[in-house]
């Protein structure tokens, strides 16, 4: 009986803890987008999240812990969204164009902006850099894998791997351009043209047919 009581108490505690963590991470991303890395402080985050300083320090002892976890958290959540959106796209003619537009939207979302703040801050902060490089390797590998799948690209064909990488570097460059100017129309034209070029260049696999 005592064990059962402890178990029912523990579950809501774990749930409360999970919710609190989520609120802290969401508040951090919002602040990175609104005020940039330099303008984001742990005090502002706890205020925004409505979480006590003590509870915040328990979950994330330093600003670095908080910002890295926040970017990782939203990247994973958005990655899952991106996958669902892209998997819902119809096969066949025009698919590449739609896949690229979904990727373009992904790289111009607040998640990209928050990640950009983290990358740029990491450049001049060696401790943060090690964490961001680790995160980038994981995210980069997963995004590449998903893009190969979505495009139905056959990487055993010479040059195809590089074209998939180029596609991701292109959308990263478009994401950066979009941070200081509303670039949607230009981006759509560029991605549509790149889709036509990719379709003409990539070897078709059964999945693309």
User: Footprint of a copy of itself on this chain (CB under 8 A)?
Assistant: 34-39, 113, 116-117, 119-124, 129, 132-133, 136, 159, 162-163, 165-166, 168-177, 179-181, 186, 189-190, 192-194, 196-197, 200-201
**Between 51 and 152, whose beta carbon lies closer to a copy of itself?**
152
Least separation in angstroms between residue 194's CB and a copy of itself is 5
**Between 76 and 183, whose beta carbon lies closer to a copy of itself?**
183
**Between 53 and 145, whose beta carbon lies closer to a copy of itself?**
145
Least separation in angstroms between residue 12's CB and a copy of itself is 38
| Rounded Cα gap, residues 67 and 70, in angstroms | 5
Between the alpha carbon of residue 79 and those of residues 107, 147, 161, 191, the distances in Å are 11, 11, 20, 20
Least separation in angstroms between residue 14's CB and a copy of itself is 35
**Between 196 and 204, whose beta carbon lies closer to a copy of itself?**
196
Least separation in angstroms between residue 199's CB and a copy of itself is 12
Q: At what angle do helices 160-180 and 95-106 cross, to 10 degrees?
A: 50
- Distance from CA of residue 65 to its chain's centroid? 17
Per the listing, tokens 């990247």 go with 75
| Rounded Cα gap, residues 108 and 110, in angstroms | 7
Among residues 122, 111, 158, 165, the alpha carbon closest in space to that of 143 is found at 165
**Between 15 and 162, whose beta carbon lies closer to a copy of itself?**
162
Least separation in angstroms between residue 25's CB and a copy of itself is 20
Indicate the burial class of 110 (C-beta count within 10 angstroms; 0-12, 13-18, 19 or more).
Answer: middle
Q: Characterise 94 by phi-psi region: left (phi > 0), alpha (psi -120 to 50), beta (else).
A: left
């Amino acid at each position: 009986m005592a064990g059962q009581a402890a178990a029912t108490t523990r579950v809501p505690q774990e749930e409360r803890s999970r919710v609190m963590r989520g609120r802290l991470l969401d508040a951090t991303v919002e602040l990175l987008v609104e005020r940039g890395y330099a303008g984001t402080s742990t005090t502002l985050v706890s205020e925004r999240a409505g979480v006590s300083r003590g509870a915040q320090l328990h979950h994330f002892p330093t600003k670095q812990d908080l910002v890295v976890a926040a970017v990782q958290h939203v990247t994973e959540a958005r990655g899952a969204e991106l996958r669902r959106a892209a998997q819902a796209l119809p096969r066949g003619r025009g698919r590449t164009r739609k896949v690229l537009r979904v990727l373009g939207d992904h790289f111009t979302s607040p998640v990209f902006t928050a990640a950009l703040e983290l990358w740029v801050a990491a450049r001049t902060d060696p401790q943060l850099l090690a964490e961001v490089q680790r995160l980038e390797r994981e995210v980069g590998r997963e995004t590449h894998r998903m893009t190969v799948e979505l495009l139905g690209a056959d990487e055993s064909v010479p040059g195809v791997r590089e074209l998939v990488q180029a596609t991701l570097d292109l959308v990263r460059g478009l994401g950066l351009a979009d941070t200081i100017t509303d670039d949607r129309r230009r981006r759509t034209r560029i991605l549509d043209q790149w889709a036509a070029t990719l379709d003409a260049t990539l070897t078709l696999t059964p999945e693309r047919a």
